Amino acid sequence: MKYAFSTLGLPGAPLARSASLAAAHGFDGLEIRAHPEEPLHPGSTAAERASARRTLTAAGVAVLGVAGYTRVAAAGADEPVLAELRSLVRLAADLEAPCVRVFPGGAGLPATAADTHAVRRLSAGAAFAERHGVRILLETHDSHRTGAAVARVLDRVAHPAAGALWDVLHTWLGGEPPAASRRALAPHLGYVQVKDVRSARELTPVGLGAGVLPLAEAVAAAPWDGWLCWEYEKRWHPAAAELPGGLARGRAYLERLVAAAR
């Protein structure tokens, strides 16, 4: 098992700081939040991308994925969505990242319409991503919160460059047990995103193991040769404790869960 954390937990921090913290606390990689308020995003220059690669290489830290905000199931024209996808794929390729994260975003649409939009756009995007050595991962989120909902889309796309990102919080909020999520996502799974919260109504992030999520069951269901990525949503909850102080405990907690599940 390999371990990463998301730069969402260090909003606006220089990449060098994120990479240094990852290396110092035993994390193998980073999930890079690709948003204009962050150091790296689709508008970053070639020089900035090259500098980022050098920084990460020097720290011995990989980029697990580029976390974008494209909504593939949303209403509207295809081309703006596909243009966003292509820009994310190019950024991932330049950073030597194996995948990009996208959201469904089909809220307010009938499930069949949202599925159809997502299938059409992911099919087109996957062909482009494959040429760049990148995989597009649809996160269990918003309109497609469960593994079953995401698998319903990916089964129709049926392309190796389109896969799933399992966000344990959202499948739990959707009432889907971890074993069921894993069964649904198994043919498509890219990596597993873990986090912890106090309750379904109090989503301020807490340290791993300090909340209510079924993390032991989720880790037991995760692929042994895969990645666990801790997404600590400090960006959306500024009152939450600072992430650096919890990194050592979080990494040790995940390692204990992996050892117990073997």
**Radius of gyration from C-alpha coordinates of the chain:** 17
What pTM was estimated for this model as a whole? 0.98
Determine the Cα–Cα distance for residues 29 and 160; give it in Å rounded to an integer: 23
Q: How confident is the model at residue 262 (pLDDT cuts 50, 70, 90)?
A: confident
State yes or no: pLDDT of 224 exceeds 90: no
- By the 8 A CB rule, do 217 and 260 touch? no
Extents of the domains making up the chain: 2-261
* 223 CB neighbour count, 10 Å cutoff: 14
What type of residue is 248?
Answer: A
**Architecture of the CATH domain 2-261:** Alpha-Beta Barrel (3.20)
Q: How confident is the model at residue 205 (pLDDT cuts 50, 70, 90)?
A: very high
As a whole-number percent, the residues of the chain with pLDDT over 90 amount to 98
State yes or no: pLDDT of 200 exceeds 90: yes
Give the number of residues written for the chain: 262
Q: Provide the total of helices (H) and of strands (E) in the chain, helices listed first.
A: 9, 8
Determine the Cα–Cα distance for residues 118 and 92; give it in Å rounded to an integer: 21
Determine the Cα–Cα distance for residues 89 and 119; give it in Å rounded to an integer: 18
SS3 (DSSP) at 246: helix
